[in-house]
Amino acid sequence: MATQIKILDTTLRDGEQSPGCSMNLQEKLEVAKQLERLKVDIIEAGFAIASPGDLAAIKAISETVKECTIASLARSLPKDIDLAWEAVRKAESPRIHIFIATSDIHMQYKLRKTPDQVLEQATEMTKYAKKYCSDIEFSAEDATRSDPEFLYRVFEAVIDAGATVINIPDTVGYTTPWEFAELITNIKNNVPNIDQVELSVHCHNDLGLAVANSLAAIRAGVHQVECTINGIGERAGNAALEEIVMGLVTRYDFYQAKTNIFTPQIYRTSKLVSSLTGAHVQANKAIVGANAFAHESGIHQHGVLANKSTYEIMTPASIGLTENRMVLGKHSGRHAVEDRLISLGYNLTKEQLDIAFEQFKKLADKKKIVADEDLEALVEQKAVSIPEVYKLRSFVINSGNSITATAAVRLVAHGREVEEVSTGDGPIDAAFKAIDKIVGFDFSLESFSLQAVTKGKDALGEVTIKIARGAKHYNGRGLSMDVIEASVLAYLNAINKMMDELKLIKEVESGSETSLDF
């Protein structure tokens, strides 16, 4: 009989913590709704005490998503747990996820506590969380570098205190599949009340073993794995959801385990997260990379043409990639566009479809053929509606290799048109400096990337930008056949996200009675 494995997706917590991958409330909400379509079991929606934005996002997700358990992370401290409960209490199925470090190095240098003090704190804070919520997950941070005998004591105590899920994190990606499986087996054999809880693992990818360790843990008998879309996360990232799930699907004969994941939504979810975070997926990334189902070698091509199973161990359709090659162009109708979007895994409302079709028609007037990648880019660009404090009206660029670049940019700003002119080191720099004059706000440009969505002279240019204000980063994305326009749109998109979050933070701080200092 197959073992049922629960998937806890921590893209919105651990994934979003990775440098440059921050999302605003509306973006997090869109990802959460997509994770619900993907049918993950638990969404770890954030770390409530980390910021007013995190708190507001977890609350919004808890009130919106009904088909998944919603969890908030909390340190083993009363104020963290109080705020975590405030964040998830309106969820259909709430969970509080508490953690404390158990390795000697963390206890000595980070916590400055003895093992007995950590054991006491873990036990008392599990009891404290239990008064709020029946579903309590406990994580022993840096478990794979902890003394196993101490782990057994901690796990037994927190289970007696009310924990329902015990998580064994490989916090720094240190362990190997063989060691990890042995640790899990020993925990099962040495913690007398372990059969009262679900066992979970949370693996990082510092040595490139996060997925391998997660799969080894499944073989050793865990019930839940924690992972992220595209493997994003701290440092080298987390175990990738798509790789774990498709590993179980493709090698069911070996693992004899299954999940509830609706795999045709995998590619769509990957594209959404990549688009919103600006973290592009490498071409040779397993499952969702651009080359994952591409064959260039003559030998491979010959084999695939004869029988796809010669070099493809899973089908593109199994993760939501369409094999429909019907051409879309300026004469294509709304039904054809809608049908293609459905085949690509999109579930759009009538209003969203109206916007997508309007954008498609504009692009089709400029391009002879609109590729699937073009269509996906158009939809992803409008996936999240951000209030446009600043909107592009027009720009004029004067540039060349023998003159100083000059840009005149006209924006609709706070409901009125404003124009500024500036020079710069090239047309894009000049345009950005003109916008800076209009905005008059203190922030810095952290990164800029430009890539073509498809091949050819008429390819859409996709610009991804990151700006920073203090320690907070904001992603912006722009799309146009004119790379300067795409750059300006991306810059404004990032600025508008910054303005929207600053407004949200003021609203949360004025409406919350809970201190966020820690």
Strand residues in 69-210 grouped as ranges (E): 69-75, 94-101, 136-141, 165-170, 198-203
Question: Residues 184-224: pLDDT tens digits?
Answer: 999 999 999 999 999 999 999 999 999 999 999 999 999 99
CATH of the domain at 13: 3.20.20.70
- CA–CA separation, 139 vs 75, rounded Å? 10
Rg (CA), the chain: 25
pLDDT of residue 517: 31
Q: Is residue 293 part of a domain?
A: no
Q: Is residue 11 part of a domain?
A: yes
- The pair of structure tokens assigned to 287 is 């499952």
Closest CA to 375 of 490, 496, 268, 242: 268
Question: Helix or strand or coil: residue 262?
Answer: coil
pLDDT of residue 379: 78
pLDDT of residue 481: 87
Split into its structural domains, the chain has a count of 3
Question: Residues 373-409: pLDDT tens digits?
Answer: 777 777 777 666 678 899 999 999 999 999 999 999 9
Q: Is residue 104 part of a domain?
A: yes
pLDDT of residue 326: 55
Pair 182, 270 in one domain: yes
CB 472 within 8 A of CB 22: yes
Pair 246, 347 in one domain: no
Q: Euclidean distance between the first and final Cα of the chain, in Å?
A: 47
Alpha helices per DSSP H over 137-265: 148-161, 177-190, 210-220, 241-250, 252-255
How many C-beta atoms surround the C-beta of residue 409 within 10 A?
Answer: 27
- CA–CA separation, 60 vs 340, rounded Å? 31
Pair 332, 266 in one domain: no
- The pair of structure tokens assigned to 140 is 């022993």
CB 57 within 8 A of CB 28: yes
| Domain containing residue 360 | 322-381
- CA–CA separation, 254 vs 251, rounded Å? 5
Pair 366, 397 in one domain: no
Pair 376, 394 in one domain: no
Strand partners, 394: 410
Pair 148, 28 in one domain: yes
Q: Position of tokens 């708190």?
A: 55
Residue 343 φ/ψ, nearest 5 degrees: -65, -25
DSSP for residue 238: B
- The pair of structure tokens assigned to 440 is 């008059």
Residue 217 identity: A
Alpha helices per DSSP H over 221-297: 241-250, 252-255, 266-277
pLDDT of residue 315: 87
- CA–CA separation, 36 vs 67, rounded Å? 6
Q: Is residue 478 part of a domain?
A: yes
- CA–CA separation, 109 vs 133, rounded Å? 32
**What is the sign of the dihedral through the CA atoms of 89, 91, 92 and 97?**
negative
Q: Is residue 436 part of a domain?
A: yes
pLDDT of residue 359: 81
Q: Is residue 304 part of a domain?
A: no
Pair 92, 238 in one domain: yes
CATH of the domain at 471: 3.30.160.270
Pair 329, 425 in one domain: no
Pair 112, 7 in one domain: yes
Of the residues 341, 363, 381, the one at which a domain ends: 381
Pair 105, 17 in one domain: yes
Q: Is residue 162 part of a domain?
A: yes
Pair 14, 143 in one domain: yes
Q: Is residue 497 part of a domain?
A: yes
- CA–CA separation, 320 vs 323, rounded Å? 9
- CA–CA separation, 446 vs 243, rounded Å? 31
Question: Helix or strand or coil: residue 113?
Answer: coil
CB 135 within 8 A of CB 93: yes
pLDDT of residue 382: 67
Walking along the chain (518 residues) 10 residues at a time, the average pLDDT comes out as 95 85 87 97 96 92 98 98 98 98 97 98 98 98 98 98 98 98 98 98 98 98 98 95 98 97 95 88 90 60 59 84 65 81 79 83 78 78 76 95 95 92 95 94 90 79 90 87 93 91 66 37
- CA–CA separation, 397 vs 409, rounded Å? 9
pLDDT of residue 24: 84
- The pair of structure tokens assigned to 139 is 């994580």
Pair 375, 401 in one domain: no
